[in-house]
Amino acid sequence: MSLYLDLARQHEPQLLQFMKDLIATQSLSSQEGKVIKRVQTEMKKLGYDEVRVDPMGNVIGRIGNGKRVIAIDGHVDTVDVGDLKQWKTDPFTPVLKNGILYGRGTSDMKGGVASAVYAGALLKKAGFPKDVTLYVTGTVQEEDCDGLCWQYIVKEDKLRPNVVVITEPTSLRIYRGHRGRMEIEVETTGISCHGSAPERGVNAVYKMAPIIADIEKLNARLKPRKPLGKGTVTISHIRSRSPSLCAVADGCVIHLDRRLTVGENERVAVRQIQNLPSVKKAKAKVTVLTYEVPSWTGLNYPTKKYFPTWEMPESTKEVKVARAAFQDVFNSAPTVGHWTFSTNGIATAGMHGIPTIGFGPGHEHFAHAPNECVEVEHLVRAAAFYAGFVAHYGKA
């Protein structure tokens, strides 16, 4: 057994209790204050050299003061629970059964946060690398606006690591990128009139109907591109506007979730929508949305809802170090892949060009699902890997 895996097993009871506390502390986006303070308390208890909460509300723990700067990041916010009838246990009462821990945020992604925090403790116990500075970040508002926290950390906190490890769930695989995404609205306008004589007006919903059909066809035309697969576009919401329920609608808006693969960007995606025959005929307005919601501290940091695609080639130093660390810690070869969903990597790698890799406990398919869970063994192994990665990167 490797040193870091052995130390992680020794810390399992404390790690598990910390994880249970995180699950029991509800933390929807922009409501993370209590869980941030819980993470801050644990970092201080474990002897981090510095622990602070920035103006946005991200908790940032530091160990060491070397030239090689590593950040291990996990967001502390979760989505809501949805239909409680679909849950077999209370989402905020951690339940441990047969080595599996159940509760909201177990896979997405308080497990990654807990394991990352304890990786710092393992490194201090083993002897912290001399030439390394480690930051462990518990970040906010990711579920509402992935990457916003790291836009702030890089631009305002002036923290720019040499490498970032994203702890979103990977089933203990090494991930090296994912598709980007955008949020787009398409709006049609009409002329209202009394519903008893609809021919007197122009119905904006009818103008939207062929646009909806064209967007479905556009999604079918999008081609897969290696290594991230197919870009997609889907309508996630539709709403209309009229003076009353007895009137013709004079406005209609659809919300598009656009996933971006290799070679796709904001300009490409917007033009694809603008060039649809139905959009041109309806003279519809196409808008890339802006996120403008205050964090739990009250800070508002607006950003366009365009989140770039990113991918780290196999040949990069960071992927090679991750492979070597995995082999050393677990005495086996890793599986390397990509996420289906989006992470804070859209900011670290996609916007700021910081080398980024992913490794996390839990499984992507449990994200946002009822009966979310994570294996306790995953928490232990993730903590061991993070410590091993830091040690290997310090020598690379």
Write out the catalytic residue numbers: 77, 142
Instruction: For residue 288, give Cα distances in angstroms to 36, 117, 184, 316, 385.
Output: 31, 36, 5, 33, 39
Question: HSE on the CB side for 323, CA within 13 Å?
Answer: 13
Smallest CA-to-CA distance from 67 within 135, 126, 133, 155 is with 133
CA-based nearest residue to 347, from 360, 356, 336: 356
The separation between CA 48 and the C-alpha centre of its own chain, rounded to angstroms, equals 25
In DSSP notation, 126-179 reads H---TTEEEEEEEE-STTTSTTHHHHHHHHTS----SEEEE-S--TT-EE-EE-
Q: Which region holds residue 141: left if phi is over 0, alpha if psi is between -120 and 50, else beta?
A: left
Q: Strand order of the sheet with strand 100-102?
A: 95-97, 100-102, 373-375
Of the CA atoms within 13 Å of residue 164, those in its CB half-sphere come to 29
The letter for the amino acid at 83 is D
In 10 A of CB 395, how many CB atoms?
11
* Separation of alpha carbons 23 and 78, rounded Å: 10
Q: Return the residue matching tokens 């993730």.
A: 382
Rounded Cα distance, 179 and 231, in Å: 8
Residues 6+ apart with CB under 8 A from 93: 23, 24, 103
- Among 156, 164, 206, 25, smallest CA distance to 103 is for 25
CA–CA distance, 89 with 187 (Å, rounded to integer): 42
